[in-house]
Amino acid sequence: MTENLEIKKKLVHRWFVHLQNEICKQLISLEKNKKFTLNSWKKSNKNNEGGGKSFIFTNGKIFDKIGINQSTVSGKFKKEFRSKIPGADKDGRYWASGISIVAHMKNPKMPALHFNTRFISTSQSWFGGGIDATPSYKDHKEKLMIHKKLKLICNQNKKNYTKYKNLCEKYFYLPHYNEQRGIGGIFFDYEKNNWKNNFKFVRDLGIGFLDITKSIINKKKLLKWNNRDKKKQFIKRGRYVEFNLLYDRGTKFGLNSGGNTEAILMSLPPKPQWRIKNE
């Protein structure tokens, strides 16, 4: 059983690393200037507790900023966290691997896109993740396309799309405005049963994210936009910053558990703005 778990960990880690490379290759190849920043980090110098790599690309023709993060780390949860994490109450040790991507587009008619999948192991083990989109420009057809694609991937893997869709809406929510962050997507966590099926679902989502992203870019890269569209996008990015710093569990967890600050805050959009009434 333990041996089996070790194999699973290896397979998951390898997939996330492969997917990161594939996404980098396919998305950054869309840009003319291909210079990106690589932040390769280790969790600690003392023990072999893993680390990660962040690729960050900025100021492109397609992407104002895209961050493509992969990390595989292990350690021991602090006592105050353990009660909140399944299977960690008696033994605080954990292993976690994941990939996380946030793309903030130059063309304000394209939505910001977010994708994350992860596998976490304590005395239990589970998958989690999701895909969601945050447009500043209404596009009903595009919303339908994204949700149709996500529903298809869920159905193909016998996953409950409606449940995941509702979880996503509940999660990406700004209570102080009583509004969704974006147009939703799917969100899931604590998927424990049938590892093989879950792993396939997670792999399909990675490929699905790449498909959705490329399809949006291809459809919209030549669309004209003006300063008013861009201003609207900057304001939407202000809300994105608010969500990530005020409510996002991943951000809080990362900062509280001594993760890599730069990699955690990679998700923050460039040039967010806050609207002044009547301005």
Catalytically active residues are: 114
**74 φ, ψ (degrees, to nearest 5):** -140, 170
Compute the distance between CA of residue 11 and CA of residue 5 in angstroms, rounded to an integer: 10
Between 46 and 176, whose beta carbon lies closer to a copy of itself? 176
Q: Give whole-number Cα distances, 130 to 9, 106, 194, in Å.
A: 20, 23, 18
Per CB under 8 A, does 273 bind a copy of itself? yes
Q: With CB under 8 A, what is the number of residues at the site for a copy of itself?
A: 30
Report the chain's terminal Cα–Cα distance, integer Å: 63
Q: Which stretch binds a copy of itself (CB under 8 A): 4-12, 87-95, 139-147, 172-180?
A: 172-180
- CB 145 to a copy of itself: min, Å: 31
Between 150 and 266, whose beta carbon lies closer to a copy of itself? 266
DSSP summary character for residue 114? E
Per CB under 8 A, does 88 bind a copy of itself? no
Per CB under 8 A, does 74 bind a copy of itself? no
Give 71's Cβ-side CA count (13 Å radius): 27
Between 9 and 239, whose beta carbon lies closer to a copy of itself? 239
Which residue shows structure tokens 């290896």?
10
Take residue 24 and report the two structure tokens written for it. Answer: 């980098």
Among 24, 27, 56, 102, binds a copy of itself (CB under 8 A): 56
Per CB under 8 A, does 45 bind a copy of itself? no
3-state class (DSSP) for residue 172: coil
**19 φ, ψ (degrees, to nearest 5):** -65, -40
Among 1, 7, 222, 276, binds a copy of itself (CB under 8 A): 276
User: Which 202-261 positions form the footprint of a copy of itself (CB under 8 A)?
Assistant: 238, 241-242, 245-246, 251-252, 255, 261
- CB 200 to a copy of itself: min, Å: 35
Between 48 and 227, whose beta carbon lies closer to a copy of itself? 227
Between 128 and 259, whose beta carbon lies closer to a copy of itself? 259
User: Which residues lie below 8 Å from residue 72, measured CB to CB, with a gap of 6+?
Assistant: 13, 16, 50, 51, 52, 95, 96, 97, 98
- CB 28 to a copy of itself: min, Å: 14
- Is residue 119 within 8 Å of residue 96, measured between CB atoms? yes
Between 207 and 255, whose beta carbon lies closer to a copy of itself? 255
The candidate with the shortest Cα–Cα distance to 5, out of 173, 199, 216, 274, is 199
DSSP summary character for residue 276? P
3-state class (DSSP) for residue 64: strand
Q: Which residues pair with 76 in a beta bridge?
A: 93
Among 2, 80, 148, 279, binds a copy of itself (CB under 8 A): 279
Among 124, 177, 192, 223, binds a copy of itself (CB under 8 A): 177
Find the helix or strand (DSSP H, E) in which 51 lies. strand 50-58
**Interface residues with a copy of itself (CB under 8 A)?**
37, 39, 56, 58, 65, 175-177, 238, 241-242, 245-246, 251-252, 255, 261-262, 264-265, 268, 270-274, 276-279
